[in-house]
């Protein structure tokens, strides 16, 4: 049995940066909270909580005692902004309550937020390509609206509303597939529009998808590691399944069993941008025992 890892796989720069920033707060002895999961990886989020960085759904969910301490100049706990970013309203609420802000928003997401706001300021109707309800998409939408824009969130060309008129701008969730962005742009042009396109798809996402697709075409089975709530990992699984029907999206090695790989000679492994090295290594170790 040959186990092959994709040339590009696992934690990206933005994720590692967020983890390092949270770790610095914890190691300095400070108390910390993250607004939502810091990254979309349940195991990592649980580890952070055990070390002292608990995830809360909103600023209001931070314990009252911590908010009281925040009023003291030397007692404010840190609120770590997750890698997916937050809305400007949430950021303002954190600052108004006197918490120390550690902004771990991925730089690529920050760039996408700025692009959405720029399109809105230019008078564009902003089309956000992404998953409705995803925290990154909620942030992109909010930053565009704060800049005065009207926004439509679409998952693909079939969701583009009728009756749009120029100027129209397009911005993409950083983990979207390039082909989906191209299809949306083509559909807008078919409506007679001339969209202003900001390609905000992260290069790390694209590289992982391309490497996964190449590997999936050359193996008998693919294992894709990462949180089921992770958009980029879900996209990886979709890409792999196009050429390798025996594709398994898992969160941990405990989900694997030997019978699923009966008859396989080559197994490919890839992982989402929120998947640390130790999780990849444990899966590879298991597969090599088959």
Which pair of tokens denotes residue 185?
A: 């742009």
Please return the burial class of 144, using the count of CB atoms within 10 Å of its CB with bins 0-12, 13-18 and 19+. buried
**Is 124 annotated among the ligand-binding residues?**
no
**Is 134 annotated among the ligand-binding residues?**
yes
**Is 110 annotated among the ligand-binding residues?**
no
The answer to whether 125 and 168 have CB atoms below 8 angstroms apart is yes
**Is 202 annotated among the ligand-binding residues?**
yes
Query: End-to-end distance of the chain based on CA atoms, in angstroms?
Result: 7
Closest residue by Cα to residue 246 from 228, 226, 262, 227: 262
**Is 249 annotated among the ligand-binding residues?**
no
What is the set of active-site residues?
Answer: 136
Which DSSP letter does residue 200 get? -
Which pair of tokens denotes residue 165?
A: 């008129």
**Is 12 annotated among the ligand-binding residues?**
yes
**Is 40 annotated among the ligand-binding residues?**
yes
Which pair of tokens denotes residue 262?
A: 């009966």
The answer to whether 264 and 221 have CB atoms below 8 angstroms apart is yes
Closest residue by Cα to residue 275 from 256, 252, 254, 257: 252
**Is 84 annotated among the ligand-binding residues?**
yes
**Is 231 annotated among the ligand-binding residues?**
yes
Residue numbering of the annotated binding site for [4Fe-4S] cluster:
12, 106, 202
Residue numbering of the annotated binding site:
12, 40, 84, 106, 134, 174, 202, 230-232, 274
């Amino acid at each position: 049995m040959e186990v092959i890892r994709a040339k590009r796989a696992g934690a990206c720069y933005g994720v590692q940066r967020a983890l390092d920033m949270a770790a610095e707060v914890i190691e300095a002895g400070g108390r910390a909270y993250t607004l939502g999961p810091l990254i979309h990886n349940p195991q990592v989020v649980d580890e952070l909580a055990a070390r002292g960085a608990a995830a809360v759904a909103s600023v209001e969910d931070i314990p009252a005692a911590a908010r009281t301490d925040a009023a003291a100049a030397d007692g404010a706990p840190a609120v770590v902004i997750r890698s997916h970013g937050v809305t400007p309203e949430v950021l303002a609420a954190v600052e108004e309550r006197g918490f120390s802000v550690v902004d771990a928003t991925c730089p690529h997401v920050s760039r996408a937020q700025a692009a959405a706001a720029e399109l809105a300021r230019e008078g564009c109707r902003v089309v956000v390509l992404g998953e409705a309800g995803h925290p990154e998409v909620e942030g992109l939408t909010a930053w565009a609206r704060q800049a005065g824009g009207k926004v439509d969130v679409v998952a693909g060309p079939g969701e583009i509303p009728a009756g749009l008129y120029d100027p129209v701008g397009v911005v993409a969730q950083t983990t979207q597939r390039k082909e989906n962005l191209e299809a949306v742009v083509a559909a807008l042009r078919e409506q007679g529009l001339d969209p202003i396109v900001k390609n905000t798809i992260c290069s790390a996402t694209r590289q992982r998808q391309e490497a996964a697709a190449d590997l999936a075409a050359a193996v008998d089975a693919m294992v894709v590691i990462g949180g089921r709530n992770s958009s980029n990992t879900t996209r990886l699984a979709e890409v792999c399944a196009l050429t390798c029907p025996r594709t398994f999206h898992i969160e941990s090695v405990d989900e694997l069993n030997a019978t699923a790989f009966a008859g396989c000679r080559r197994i490919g492994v890839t992982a989402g941008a929120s998947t640390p090295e130790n999780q990849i290594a444990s899966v590879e170790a298991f597969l090599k025992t088959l």
